[in-house]
């Protein structure tokens, strides 16, 4: 039988091309899978819990907000949140609740001289990046603060009040309203950040008028942060109004607190009363 060498060469060429295409597709799929695993690893390290794939006809489990033991409150309701109220992101530190002695702070650098708990770094960077994409200029002015540094700030405030003529006892009481007593500051947790407008770097009430602050108030809860010391919650928090102070509590808690107009003390009390 006659065999056309040219046809055979074309068949061989098509076979080689087909094999090359198949190998290329396999390599591309492997690369995509490796990239997905890398992104999942990065997200989990940043404090996120990645949801499982959705089965046909099923519903997606919502991605968690950094809780380390169990489903997020979005998945199982506030009852689940009540069980999680003692996790790292919801630790309450104030005058009545000093920093737990066994609390482990996992610090990572934000920029020179500033650190934050590594589990809140991802959400913080996402929030600041989103603000910058909207043309804002947020600047983290303060983050983690050691007890020793807090002592220096507190003593300085007391001394300045005394220099104005106030007695020490009263100066110490008044100083604690603006500068947390050492061991009772949220900054010890590494979950609180003071964020200002780069063009207006003042830690006073005028910060609320800046574009950065107004943007943060509107969107911070989408990234798991809340304005920790609102003006209408001074009697509850025991801390003066601080429009620059934002605290990471996780997305579920932050959204609930904003929806119900709760500060952290009220949110934790609601969990205790409803699901304790």
Q: Which residues are catalytic?
A: 242
Closest CA to 74 of 42, 37, 49: 49
Report CA 261 to chain centroid distance, whole Å: 19
> How far is the C-alpha of 47 from the C-alpha of 121, rounded, in Å?
8
DSSP, residue by residue, 218-253: HHGGGGTEEEEE-GGGHHHH-S--EEEEEEE--HHH
**Is 251 within 8 Å of 257 (Cβ atoms)?**
no
Q: Is 261 left (phi over 0), alpha (psi -120 to 50) or beta?
A: left
Q: Is 174 left (phi over 0), alpha (psi -120 to 50) or beta?
A: alpha
132 CB-near residues (< 8 Å, 6+ apart): 138
> How far is the C-alpha of 242 from the C-alpha of 144, rounded, in Å?
17
How far separated are the first and last CA of the chain, in Å rounded? 88
């Amino acid at each position: 039988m006659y065999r056309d060498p040219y046809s055979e060469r074309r068949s061989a060429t098509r076979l080689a091309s087909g094999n090359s295409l198949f190998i290329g597709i396999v390599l591309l799929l492997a690369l995509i899978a490796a990239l997905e695993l890398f992104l999942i690893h990065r997200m989990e390290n940043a404090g996120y819990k990645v949801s499982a794939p959705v089965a046909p006809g099923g519903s997606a489990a919502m991605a968690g907000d950094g809780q380390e033991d169990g489903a997020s409150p979005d998945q199982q309701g506030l009852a689940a949140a009540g069980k999680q109220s003692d996790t790292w992101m919801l630790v309450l530190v104030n005058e009545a609740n000093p920093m737990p002695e066994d609390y482990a702070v996992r610090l990572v650098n934000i920029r020179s001289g500033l650190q934050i708990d590594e589990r809140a770094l991802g959400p913080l960077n996402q929030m600041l990046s989103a603000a910058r994409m909207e043309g804002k200029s947020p600047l983290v002015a303060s983050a983690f603060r050691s007890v020793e540094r807090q002592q220096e700030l507190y003593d300085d405030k007391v001394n300045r009040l005394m220099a104005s003529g106030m007695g020490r006892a009263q100066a110490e009481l008044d100083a604690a309203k603006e500068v947390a007593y050492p061991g009772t500051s949220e900054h010890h947790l590494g979950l609180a950040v003071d964020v200002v407008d780069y063009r207006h770097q003042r830690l006073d009430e005028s910060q609320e008028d800046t574009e950065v602050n107004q943007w943060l108030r509107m969107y911070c809860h989408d990234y798991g942060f809340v304005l920790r010391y609102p003006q209408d919650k001074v009697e509850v928090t025991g801390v003066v109004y601080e429009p620059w102070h934002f605290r990471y509590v996780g997305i579920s808690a932050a959204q609930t607190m904003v929806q119900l107009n709760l500060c952290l003390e009220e949110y934790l009390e609601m969990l205790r009363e409803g699901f304790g």
